[in-house]
Structure 1
Amino acid sequence: MEQLKGTGVALVTPFKADESIDWNALEKLINFVIEGGVNYVVSLGTTGETPTLSADEKLDLMKFTFEKVSKRVPVVIGIGDYCTRDVVNRLEKCPLDEATAILSVAPYYSKPTQEGIFQHYKTIAAASPKPVILYNVPGRTGRNMTAETTLRLAHEVENIAGMKEASGDMMQCMQILRDKPKDFLVVSGDDGLALAQIACGMEGVISVAANYFAADFSSMVHAALINDYAAARVFNNNLLEGFELMFSENNPAGIKAFLHHAGIIENYFRLPVVPVTAELHKKIGAYLKKY
């Protein structure tokens, strides 16, 4: 897990006008974030619009990412679902030799009990050939994974090696950081809270914003991790308005608008995600000129 400290980036999936995957744009994005200084990339995270991708497309994206990253940085693969059996089946079939770890979102929609969440992850960890990183994002899943459940998994299940915590609950985050095993990695899943959470003891972030702000966001995280908070605050303060614009309507619609302004990808999606409004798109353009 030492490899996954610092800045990870949850890659978007670029599409063409006909909704096919834009492989050239994805290669451009991969090179852009690595050259910007991110420490690792996350492929097939929910920012990549994975619910709209077919099983074959997910497999192709995984292989393409491994090929284009070409071992320059570690690759984490997102494999999560509300059906535990489906996650296990995918773990058994996916070519994961080049993956450093698996990022698995907490089961969504079904709103399981804390015991259900525990058993879900325990089953996944037993089936996974790679270390598992928990992903708690109750704003999307509809159910918070409590500090008690997280710590139970961290202490009792051997192949669970870390978590991406995106509850936004700072007290819960601090409880996890206080009581976790020493070698259990905890990273932020909230770009706007990442600096504060690193100050509390988190060891990095899996970021959406780093798709566009790869260099400055990575510099902010690096400065914070070496306790240079004066420098980190400068970067963070410059990014705050960008965070607000990026997440004001939808993720990944916001980050794709930023990347479109940069000429890295086209601004296309698969329903039900749609582009940001024309008004917000204009505000993003104005901000980037100022930035």
Structure 2
Amino acid sequence: MAQPIHRDTRGVFIIAATPFDQTGAIDWNSLDRLVDLYAQTGVTGLTILGMMGEADKLTADERRAVIDRVLARTDLPVVVGISDPGLGNLADLGRHAMDKGAAGLMVTPDRGPARDDRVEGYIHAVAAALGPDAPLVFQDFPLATGVPVSARLIRQLSEALPQMVMLKHEDWPGLTKISALRAQERDGAVARLSILCGNGGLYLPQELARGADGAMTGFAYPEALVQTVDLHHAGQPDAAEDLFDLYLPLLRHEQQPGWGLALRKQILMRRGAIACAATRAPGPRLTPTDIAELDRLIARLEQRLQR
């Protein structure tokens, strides 16, 4: 069983897609191959049932089955997204994941008025429902949730809840938030918080320079994220950014709102990890022109890597 995540966790936790066949059923063989591909690229861990994993389109039984399948397939630490409109459903799924060997659980603030007291009360309720032994990742993604959260409140929650050990930073723009959180830790008066960044990795070199520990996102070339983080942590920020820049056109293309998941799945299919690039309905479908654009970007990336 993998070790739980903690306040010094660093590296790349790749956000895993959920493969479907053309009928919309989960493709379990493709899920196995996808987990294997992720492991081969050198990632630190996996995050499943996130937004990229289309968790909101899965039934409760399907979510549990995905947890069971992935945790049986890999020895890497696995963080499980458990966000749900119902606190009871969230707690049941979280307990199931931890019982099966998850390394941590990821939650977002529930949608509603962006008031600090409401967000604070909700996260305290989540922590109480899950218990102190479940390490928590706070996903700060206001572009998706509609709930902005200040650095002050994130720190307040992390200090009040010892099990909240990691921030998935996806605020945009949000580089100053990373700086603010790290500045609070300089005198040692507050506990360190692990910070892994999302948004497709679009700003990863700058986030690492601000003090982030790595990435938690779903770019279809995880090795690019791994190598960028490794080079930065080895004290070679220029080399890290030079490598990252090779992938930037494709990474940027993946960040199109509403289309990014379809593009990522198309790439993963081309890489042999999944048999079908379908998203579960309702979801985007690529046109022949979309695929031709993607093919050109991939070909250009391969040429740059060869050079």
What TM-score does the superposition give when structure 2 sets the normalisation length?
0.88
CA change 1:139–1:114 in 2 (3 A) is same
Separation (CA, whole Å) in 1 of partners of 2:222 and 2:95? 33
1:214 to 218, 222, 230: 222
Separation (CA, whole Å) in 2 of partners of 1:146 and 1:101? 23
Does the CA-based 8 Å contact 1:147-1:176 persist in structure 2? yes
Q: Which residue of 1 aligns with 2:245?
A: 237
2:197 counterpart letter in structure 1: S
Q: Which residue of 2 aligns with 1:148?
A: 152
Does the CA-based 8 Å contact 1:261-1:285 persist in structure 2? no
2:80 to 77, 80, 84: 77
Which digits, 9 at most, give the CA deviation of each residue in 1:189-229, with x for residues without a partner?
121111111111110110210xx212222111111122211
Aligned partner of residue 41 in structure 1, secondary structure: strand
Does the CA-based 8 Å contact 2:47-2:80 persist in structure 1? yes
Instruction: Give the CA deviation at 1:95.
Output: 4.9
CA change 1:120–1:137 in 2 (3 A) is same
Which digits, 9 at most, give the CA deviation of each residue in 1:148-185, with x for residues without a partner?
21011011112111110100222222212222534321
Instruction: Structure 1: give runs of 5+ residues left out of the alignment.
Output: none
Instruction: Structure 2: give runs of 5+ residues left out of the alignment.
Output: 1-5, 302-307
1:189 to 194, 198, 215: 198
CA change 1:133–1:39 in 2 (3 A) is same
Q: Which residue of 1 aligns with 2:105?
A: 102
Separation (CA, whole Å) in 2 of partners of 1:277 and 1:148? 44
Between stretches 88-97 and 197-206, larger displacement belongs to: 88-97
Aligned partner of residue 24 in structure 1, secondary structure: helix
Aligned length: 286
Instruction: Give the CA deviation at 1:39.
Output: 0.5
Cα RMSD over matched residues? 1.8
CA change 1:114–1:9 in 2 (3 A) is same
Aligned partner of residue 293 in structure 2, secondary structure: helix
Question: Is residue 23 of structure 2 the alignment partner of residue 18 of structure 1?
Answer: yes
Q: Which residue of 1 aligns with 2:304?
A: none
Question: Is residue 38 of structure 2 the alignment partner of residue 30 of structure 1?
Answer: no
Identity %: 19
Q: Which residue of 1 aligns with 2:72?
A: 67
Does the CA-based 8 Å contact 2:169-2:196 persist in structure 1? yes
Question: Is residue 275 of structure 2 the alignment partner of residue 270 of structure 1?
Answer: no
Does the CA-based 8 Å contact 2:64-2:93 persist in structure 1? no
